[in-house]
Every structure is written in structure tokens, then in C-alpha cells.
Amino acid sequence: MKGKLVFKLGILTIILSFLLVIPALGQKAQTNEALGQQLKTYKANILKELKVAPDKDKALVELEEKYSIQRAEIVDASKKAWDNLVAALAAPKPDDAKIKAAVSAYIDAEAKMYTSFRKQLDEELAQMTPVQQGKYLVAMEKWRQQCMPKVCIPVTKK
């Protein structure tokens, strides 16, 4: 009798855990999507304020879409590489070759992400005058500071 009770309590615990975790996962995805949409809206408003020519505005929107799709693929590769690294490290006897390959794959994915952001910025700035470029960079930095106010940048003082 006691064994059945423990079994039922275990099943109930698992079910309740799933009910608590699943909404949190959905909420995170909505938050990321909402943040992405907020950024697109913010950029559109900045471009209006900067009085970017309509043809250049269209090119900038196309760049945003192009790099958004590209980064979604990079994020998937990065997540896969991270999961492989975590799994390789969790093995009872970690295999150096697997860990080395997983580290390399993860670093490559992260490098592609940084390169993607850099290329997008370069292509965006190429569509603007120097004054627009400066104002755009200031506006985007304000956005980053609002989204990540507690990000630490190490500074070495002499």
C-alpha cells in the first residue's frame, strides 16, 4: 500500500512539474519574440526620425529580415553545439576529442553570430549619411542599455 502511495505521489509530482515548467518556457519564447518586435518598431521609428530616404529605408528593412533569418539558424547551431558540449562533459568518462569538437563548434557558432551583427551594422551604416550613422549608433546604444542595464564591461584603470 505504501509503495502505491509513493508511486502516485511521484507521478503527481512529475505532472505538476511539467505544468509549472511548460508555461515558463512559453513565456520566455514570447518574451524573446516580443523583444524582437520591439526592436523592429524602435528601429523603424529611429529611421523615420533620421529621415532616411524611402529606398534606403526599404533596403534597411530587407537587411533586418535577411540577418534575422541568418541569426535564427546560427542560434540553432549554437544551441546544438552547447548541448553537445554539456553532454560530453556530463559523461562518466569525458572524451577529450568529443569535448574539443564541441568547444570548437560552439566557438564557431558564436563567431558567426558576432560576424553577422557586424556585417549587418556595416551594411546598415552604408545606407546612411555620416550624421545619420552617428545618430543611429547613439540610438541603438540607448536601446541596448535599456535592454541590458546590468551588463558589466570590465574596465582596467591605469
Q: Among all chains, which residue has been given the C-alpha cell 569525458?
A: 94
Cβ distance 68 to 47 under 8 Å? no
Sort 124 into a burial class: Cβ within 10 Å, 0-12 / 13-18 / 19+.
buried
CA 6, 8, 11, 15 dihedral sign is: negative
Residue that wins the pLDDT comparison between 146 and 92: 92
Same domain, yes or no: 43 and 68: no
**Mean of pLDDT values over 2-25:** 48
pLDDT in tens, 84-111: 999 999 999 989 999 999 999 999 999 9
Question: Is pLDDT at 19 greater than 50 in this prediction?
Answer: no
What is the tally of structural domains in the chain? 2
Mean pLDDT within 70-84: 92
18 vs 64, higher pLDDT: 64
Examine the domain organization and report whether 56 and 118 are in the same domain. yes
Mean pLDDT of 13-21: 46
| Together in a domain, 40 and 62 | no
Task: Write b or e for each residue in 34-44: b if 16 or more Cβ atoms lie within 10 A of its Cβ, otherwise e.
Answer: eeeeebeebbe
For 48-58, what is the mean pLDDT?
90
Per-residue pLDDT at 149: 62
In the chain, at which residue ranges do the beta strands (DSSP E only) sit? none
Q: Residue 23 belongs to what domain range?
A: 1-49
Residue 77 domain-assigned (yes or no): yes
pLDDT at 152: 57
The CATH number of residue 71's host domain is 1.20.120.1490
